Structure 1
Amino acid sequence: MTCFNGIKTKKTLIGLGLGQILSLLSTSISFTSSEIARKGINAPTSQSFLGYVLLAIIYGGIMLYRRSAIKAKWYHYLLLALVDVEGNFLVVKAYQNTSMTSVMLLDCWAIPCVLVLTWIFLKTKYRLMNISGVVICIAGVVMVVFSDVHAGDRAGGSNPVKGDFLVIAGATLYAVSNVSQEFLVKKADRVELMAFVGLFGAIIGAIQISIFERDALKAIHWSTGAVLPFLGIALGVFLFYSLLTVLLKTNGSAMFTLSLLTSDMWAVLIRIFAYHEKVDWLYYLAFATTAIGLIIYSMKEKDPEEQRGGEVVNEQRKLFDAENGQSLRDSLIGAPT
């Protein structure tokens, strides 16, 4: 029933590799954001603003050079950018109100949201192998949560209830954004998608910064040490969204959402090698479990109806050969005698 050779296909291997590159980029962006927060800078929207500007400049320039017609409605991109900007904003704000353990656990809410949305709007069919992979991936994240609790990460945050609702809302917006991008990148154009998401994301971000973060930016003592983290996040956001569209087009938003579950494990490796911290042994088991879940999700599962149909055809061919010979079989399949 299961074709294990499906994992060897080029498309699947590229999807797994891109997913982990995106997961590592997400981890790097999160670590840089945490370093900015440690300096007392409360500017979540400002951190991603330059990334949107970079997307608008690079991909907008490509669009102008091509002089290609717009394939989708402009307001579709406006709504997508709004959802994307606010999703990032809500999750960053959640870290200020609840614990990292709660954020990690509740962020998994994006997975069932993506599965339901792709099933309803994109008509994506999920089989038993896909669902099994999803369950195993979530089990890996639960192990990380238990590891944090075991290690003593019980900080509840200033307002855990508010923070938990912010995570759930942000994860829901992430799911909507990912599925919308998958739809647009397949129906419209990848360059067009990135150009307009960057343009509208920058506009929405600028408005939000002028209202909520203007005082925080004025209080920053700008220097090379303060500028470099923002530039690093901008480059990371640009690379993240550029590679994201490739993965969405080839493997879909569900594969992308599952791939991001390993970002917590990459964070562990950074803590080990960059900060020389000791981590609980459950982290290693969690990483392996999540990786296995991704591989299982990527495997191809034969359709039962197709397999039964193939078995019937084979039996008929054997019967034709045994009773009537090769000429009779050729006539039945329409070949000239």
Structure 2
Amino acid sequence: MDDYRKTAIDENAGVTTQVTAGSRDYGADDETAINQAVGQGLHQIEAQKTHWYSYFTTKEFWIALAVGQLLALCQTATNTFSSFLAINGNSVPAFQSLFTYILLSIIYLSYALYSYGPRKWLGILWKDGWKYLILSFFDVEGNYFTVLAYRYTNQLSAQLINFWAIVVVVILSFLLLRVRYKLFQILGILVACGGMGILLGSDYIQGNNTREAEDLLKGDLFALVGATCYGLTNTFEEWLVSKRPMYEVLGFMGLFGMIIIGVQAAIFDRHSFQQATWNGSVGGWMTGFTLALCLFYSVVPLLLRIASAAFFNISLLTGNFWGTIIGIHVFGYAVHFLYPIAFVCIILGLVVYFLAGSMLGESKKPWLGENQEGGVVGIGTAKRKALNLAKKQGFAPGGATV
């Protein structure tokens, strides 16, 4: 959870409101002083003498790497529970995701209402609700169309098309968020994608993903729509969590996602729901799916702050490796010798991505301004790191705690 309670600037009205930082309230003058302190902190961090490996010595790199693999494991867990449900005749993709959005609402929407108060929360809903509605729509449809694609096409085809999500993120970040990718970042993405290619190639050699598909063209189109929605969601969410508290973003995603997925479940899953088998095992798999996906949603904003939507997407490429490890023990899969090589290539791509980077990595977002004045002082942000340094060196406003 973020450590501050109020946002400093109302961008539309141009009015500065009070900021709670520790036990002291800050107005316009103090907010300017805080931004100046952040600027000095950022300058000192970026002025440090660096080597090509310097970012690897920071805790932020190892946190980003670990969080990326945690998310890949969460995704693998949701896929595993979905497989159990599908094998036992319970193909209700919209309905099984509904409980995740309900849980997100219970946790984060409740905290947002407590933190802001009902009146201020309603003001945010009125002013920014449309942004969260769009984010939730793309998120829900990404989940829905990806699951739907596997009903018509084979796994190999769907996984190849999922690479499109990385392309969408890179293009949108470049055009809309003014992100400028360095040579090593592009190389890292290519190396990681090459590792994924080896993984898919080994699946093809073994025949793991060559089952007959019901309608390849329809399935591939659904996979393409799902991957596009994922790319839009990841980029938009990175922009939002850099400017707003994580609990606010997740709370609104839970609220709007619950409404959208609920309507879809009532329309499209009604027939499947009536034919599904319901017992204790199904309840356990649904619970596991919900908890794993809720953890996934809860951790994603942290990685988007420390790193980026692009790093997040290439981190998820290792999910196929973790899925195979589970498949060996649960579904009796056999492992091809190329699997470990593929995993090493993907991890190597993640490392190459941060070669010759600054000590801030990707936590300094270009769309927030030179001193990150448009950003939130929250966990994982460059603004928080710079303000902490300013506090230690005594040039932050007295009493500011982050």
TM-score range, shorter chain: 0.7 to 0.9
How many percent identity over aligned positions?
34
Whole-Å Cα distance in 2 between the matches of residues 219 and 6 of structure 1?
53
RMSD: 1.7
Equivalenced residue count is: 303
Is the 8 Å Cα contact of residues 140 and 286 (structure 1) preserved in structure 2? yes
User: 2:162 aligns to what SS in structure 1?
Assistant: helix
CA distances 1:86-111 after superposition (whole Å, capped 9, x unpaired): 11000001111111111111111111
2:91 equivalent to 1:42: yes
Distance apart, 1:7 and its partner CA? 1.4
Whole-Å Cα distance in 2 between the matches of residues 154 and 211 of structure 1?
32
User: 1:171 aligns to what SS in structure 2?
Assistant: helix
Deviates more, 1:198-207 or 1:271-280: 271-280
Distance apart, 1:301 and its partner CA? 3.6
2:152 equivalent to 1:97: yes
Structure 2: 5+ residue stretches without partners:
1-49, 359-402
Question: Where do 1:2-151 residues align within 5 Å?
Answer: 3-67=52-116, 69-70=120-121, 73-151=128-206
Distance apart, 1:47 and its partner CA? 1.5
CA distances 1:273-325 after superposition (whole Å, capped 9, x unpaired): 344432111111111111100111123347xxxxxxxxxxxxxxxxxxxxxxx
Query: Quick one: which amino acid aligns to residue 64 of structure 2?
Result: G
Counterpart for residue 292 of structure 1: 348
Runs (4+) of structure 1 exceeding 6 A deviation are: none
Judged with a 3 Å threshold, the aligned counterparts in structure 2 of structure 1 residues 131 and 193 are, in CA distance, closer, same or farther, namely same
Whole-Å Cα distance in 2 between the matches of residues 297 and 276 of structure 1?
34
Counterpart for residue 324 of structure 1: none
Counterpart for residue 243 of structure 2: 187
Counterpart for residue 229 of structure 1: 285
TM value normalised by structure 2 = 0.73
Distance apart, 1:218 and its partner CA? 2.5
Is the 8 Å Cα contact of residues 152 and 218 (structure 2) preserved in structure 1? yes
Distance apart, 1:272 and its partner CA? 2.5
User: 1:96 aligns to what SS in structure 2?
Assistant: helix
Distance apart, 1:14 and its partner CA? 0.6
Whole-Å Cα distance in 2 between the matches of residues 276 and 151 of structure 1?
14
| Greater helix share, structure number | 1
Judged with a 3 Å threshold, the aligned counterparts in structure 2 of structure 1 residues 92 and 107 are, in CA distance, closer, same or farther, namely same
Is the 8 Å Cα contact of residues 106 and 164 (structure 1) preserved in structure 2? yes
Counterpart for residue 233 of structure 2: 177
User: 2:179 aligns to what SS in structure 1?
Assistant: coil
User: 2:278 aligns to what SS in structure 1?
Assistant: coil
Match of 2:309 among 241, 249, 253: 253
User: 2:78 aligns to what SS in structure 1?
Assistant: helix
TM value normalised by structure 1 = 0.86
Distance apart, 1:161 and its partner CA? 1.1
Distance apart, 1:2 and its partner CA? 5.9
Match of 1:215 among 271, 276, 279: 271
Query: Quick one: which amino acid aligns to residue 292 of structure 1?
Result: L
Judged with a 3 Å threshold, the aligned counterparts in structure 2 of structure 1 residues 301 and 60 are, in CA distance, closer, same or farther, namely closer
Distance apart, 1:231 and its partner CA? 1.2
Whole-Å Cα distance in 2 between the matches of residues 299 and 32 of structure 1?
36
CA distances 1:41-100 after superposition (whole Å, capped 9, x unpaired): 221111111000000111011012112545561011011111110110000011111111
Is the 8 Å Cα contact of residues 104 and 141 (structure 1) preserved in structure 2? no
Counterpart for residue 315 of structure 1: none
Judged with a 3 Å threshold, the aligned counterparts in structure 2 of structure 1 residues 274 and 223 are, in CA distance, closer, same or farther, namely closer
Query: Quick one: which amino acid aligns to residue 32 of structure 1?
Result: F
CA distances 1:2-46 after superposition (whole Å, capped 9, x unpaired): 611221211111111100000000011011111111112221111
Is the 8 Å Cα contact of residues 88 and 277 (structure 2) preserved in structure 1? no
Query: Quick one: which amino acid aligns to residue 20 of structure 1?
Result: Q
CA distances 1:88-141 after superposition (whole Å, capped 9, x unpaired): 000001111111111111111111110111112221121001000000001011
CA distances 1:252-274 after superposition (whole Å, capped 9, x unpaired): 11110010111001111112234
Whole-Å Cα distance in 2 between the matches of residues 117 and 164 of structure 1?
22
Whole-Å Cα distance in 1 between the matches of residues 159 and 318 of structure 2?
11
Structure 1: 5+ residue stretches without partners:
303-337
Counterpart for residue 158 of structure 1: 214
User: 1:280 aligns to what SS in structure 2?
Assistant: coil
Judged with a 3 Å threshold, the aligned counterparts in structure 2 of structure 1 residues 93 and 55 are, in CA distance, closer, same or farther, namely same
Distance apart, 1:213 and its partner CA? 0.8
Whole-Å Cα distance in 2 between the matches of residues 204 and 196 of structure 1?
12
Query: Quick one: which amino acid aligns to residue 120 of structure 1?
Result: L
Is the 8 Å Cα contact of residues 32 and 233 (structure 1) preserved in structure 2? yes
Whole-Å Cα distance in 2 between the matches of residues 218 and 181 of structure 1?
35
Distance apart, 1:220 and its partner CA? 2.8
Is the 8 Å Cα contact of residues 7 and 300 (structure 1) preserved in structure 2? no
